[in-house]
Amino acid sequence: MDHINKTEVIEFVLLGLTERAELRGLLIAVFLVMYLINMLGNGTMMSVISGNSQLHTPMYLFLCNLSFVDLCFTSVTVPKMLSNLIFDHKTISYSACIAQLYFFVSFAGAECVLLSVMAYDRYVAICNPLHYFTIMNKKVCLSMSAACLIICFLNSLLHTLLVCRLSFCNSNLVEHFFCDFTPLLKLSCTDTSINELVLFTEASLIAVLPFLIILFSYFRIITSILKIQSTGGRHKTFSTCSSHLTVVILFYGTLIFMYFRPSSSYSLEKDKIASVVYNVVSPMANPFIYSLRNRDVKMALKTALQRKLSLGTRG
């Protein structure tokens, strides 16, 4: 009858990135700056793409979607972390923690699926250029974007409901800067084998399947690029994928580092650093990777800035 004197936790304590108090000011500054750059970069990307009809092709619309997901993804964890640091107040209520878990898992999944949709888009553009606009028509793109969000929100609902059935009775100290699965499962005093099983199978579907699609797309892209005779032609064709490939490597690289390694090498510190990379650094870097390496985006940005400046001097 052990469930009788169980006291359920009503709030968790997020222990944060480090317990060293002298680093608090530095962490606040670094994360505040990174968050602002993130908002500015992704916000600019979204407004440049939606404000420029020349960029209304599938590739850029998906890029706009990616910026949107990135913006939401970081906003799930960083503002709460910053406020905990600034006010030196580490608690998060049970329901806020569950909500954070839900949105974190949703947007992380959306990022994976969207990256694979973008790889598929490049595959069609390069390997099937004549039918590109018939295959990737408006309806198809819209359904892909919608499906991506719906699948990820449903998937996350399943995980979150499974976490809701757990009870937490020993401790409420979360060894992380946000409510993530592993630290929560570790805290629970219920048997978590079902959670782990579902996590494993579902994570394979949401992260590994898109990864295979990306690999397949790039395999086909590279084989078709190798068939191009001129080096200039090869370079030009590949340049449309290089930004996407960089983003994929950054995001999946940390994900693979985090979840696909022997559990003997498991370390909380490394885990926290990897989560900072895919939570904060990678969403912040995406708009720069795209805008610095892409001529069309640079041109659109220049035009938008010039328009702003000329309006400024006239007004």
Ligand X SMILES: *[C@@H]1O[C@H](CO)[C@@H](O)[C@H](O)[C@H]1NC(C)=O
- Cross-strand pairs, 92: 12
What gap in Å lies between CA 223 and CA 55, rounded to an integer?
Answer: 27
The yes or no reply on residue 71 touching ligand X (CB under 6 A) is: no
Query: Cβ closer to ligand X: 168 or 251?
Result: 251
What gap in Å lies between CA 63 and CA 114, rounded to an integer?
Answer: 9
Site size for ligand X (CB under 6 A):
8
Of 12-31, binders to ligand X (CB under 6 A) are: none
What gap in Å lies between CA 9 and CA 3, rounded to an integer?
Answer: 14
What gap in Å lies between CA 302 and CA 149, rounded to an integer?
Answer: 32
Give min distance, CB of 291 to ligand X, in A: 16
Of 102-141, binders to ligand X (CB under 6 A) are: 141
User: Which of 12, 31, 35, 68 touches ligand X (CB under 6 A)?
Assistant: 68
111 with 78: CB under 8 angstroms? no
The yes or no reply on residue 64 touching ligand X (CB under 6 A) is: yes
Contact characters 34-63, ligand X, x per CB under 6 A: ---------------------------xx-
Query: Cβ closer to ligand X: 105 or 141?
Result: 141
Give min distance, CB of 203 to ligand X, in A: 25
Give min distance, CB of 57 to ligand X, in A: 10
User: Which of 145, 155, 156, 192 touches ligand X (CB under 6 A)?
Assistant: 145
Token pair 């912040």 in the structure block, residue: 284
Q: What is the DSSP letter of 176?
A: S
Give min distance, CB of 78 to ligand X, in A: 20
Question: What string of DSSP letters covers 209-254?
Answer: HHHHHHHHHHHHHHHHHHT---HHHHHHHHHHHHHHHHHHHHHHHH
Residues that bind ligand X (CB under 6 A): 61-62, 64-65, 68, 141-142, 145
